[in-house]
Amino acid sequence: MRKLFLFATLFLLSFPSCQNSGQNNLKYDYVDFDYLQIQWETFFSQEGSNYYVYFYSEQCCYCESFKTDMLSFISISNKRFFLLSYKTGIPIFEDVEMTIGATSLEGMWFGGTPSLVYLENKTVKNNILGVQNISSYLKLI
């Protein structure tokens, strides 16, 4: 009886860890990706010709709700991503479609946070605003 009790106890103790071993329960934070952080002034001058820039603010409730999903995607993606945290002086205007084709900071702005911008050959190809739009776009890439 004692052996049965010991076996049952060991089984129950090990069962939850087996159950969770296939799940990804990581909770990422921006600090985990400091090596991807860029400054506004270097937006168009990153190495390589094709990359994404995720624009966020730590004070944005939408950015906070989407943070783990976005950072999890970045962690497994084979695409090049950079992070740009909102700072005073980064331009915010509604008509982001006018930034398509921009090749310099003078022609670049965001619609708000969160935003995802795709640059191809140092030229803005997509400027996507909002959690739902970004999430839908990520499913396509």
Domain range enclosing 86:
26-140
Q: Flag whether 81 is in a domain.
A: yes
Beta-carbon-side half-sphere exposure of residue 116 (alpha carbons within 13 Å): 22
> Residue-wise pLDDT tens for the chain (141 aa)?
444 333 333 333 333 333 333 335 578 899 999 999 999 999 999 988 899 999 999 999 999 999 999 999 999 999 999 999 999 999 999 999 999 999 999 999 999 999 999 999 999 999 999 999 999 999 998
Q: Flag whether 12 is in a domain.
A: no
For residue 80, give the 3-state DSSP assignment: coil
Q: What domain count does the chain have?
A: 1
The reported pTM is 0.81
Q: Sign of torsion, CA 54 55 58 61?
A: negative
For residue 15, give the 3-state DSSP assignment: helix
